[in-house]
């Protein structure tokens, strides 16, 4: 918990948020309000809630850093994933707003927008066999011809949380094997 972390280390200087669920193959006209609310509540409201809770401690540290996981879907939209795209777009906007509002107290906030990462979420609600879908996605959309690894995102988060990125705030870092430039 936050209180246990502060008690053990004396402060909180880094927060990484990584909330995310997806429902693919949705049609906007068939998406229920309940389905919309579930994704938005977890992806966006969950991110907001943990930042809201941790913000006083991050401000106290005078060098606080927030890194939130967004998605390439936030910037490019993906057919059949409107709710997910909208919720992650909210995360990216939230981070930019926090960066502007809290820079004067030494807080930095950035987002990472991953492409397809080899986690269970990559395989949820796929209409075809997973190996074919993932292979097609990599072949068609990723100049670096492989699916991303969790370590790719972790390394980007470590960089954004480190002093090596001390002049970076309000940015969205695309860690996507080149998907965003194609």
| 16 phi and psi angles, rounded to 5 deg | -115, 125
| Catalytic (active-site) positions | 84
Packed helices 46-60 and 2-9: angle between N→C axes, nearest 10 degrees = 20
The Cα 45–Cα 36 span in angstroms is 12
Q: What residues have CB less than 8 Å from 137, skipping those under 6 apart? A: 116, 147
The DSSP result for 87-124, as a single string, is HHHHHHHHHHHHHHHHGGGT-EEEEEEE-SBSSGGGGT
User: Burial code of 13-25, b = ≥16 C-beta within 10 A, e = fewer?
Assistant: bbbbbebbebbee
């Amino acid at each position: 918990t936050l209180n246990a972390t502060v008690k053990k280390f004396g402060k909180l200087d880094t927060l990484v948020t990584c909330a995310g669920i997806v429902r693919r193959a949705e049609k906007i006209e068939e998406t229920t309000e309940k389905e919309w609310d579930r994704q938005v509540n977890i992806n966006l409201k969950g991110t907001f809630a943990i930042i809201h809770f941790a913000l006083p401690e991050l401000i106290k540290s005078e060098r606080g850093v927030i890194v939130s996981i967004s998605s390439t879907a936030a910037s490019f939209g993906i057919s059949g994933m409107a709710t997910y795209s909208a919720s992650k777009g909210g995360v990216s906007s939230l981070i930019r707003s926090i960066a502007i509002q809290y820079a004067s107290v030494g807080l930095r906030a950035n987002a990472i927008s991953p492409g397809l990462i080899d986690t269970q979420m990559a395989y949820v609600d796929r209409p075809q066999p997973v190996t074919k879908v993932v292979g097609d996605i990599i072949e068609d959309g990723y100049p670096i011809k492989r699916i991303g690894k969790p370590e790719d995102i972790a390394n980007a988060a470590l960089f954004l949380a480190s002093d090596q990125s001390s002049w970076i705030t309000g940015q969205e870092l695309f860690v996507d094997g080149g998907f965003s430039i194609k």
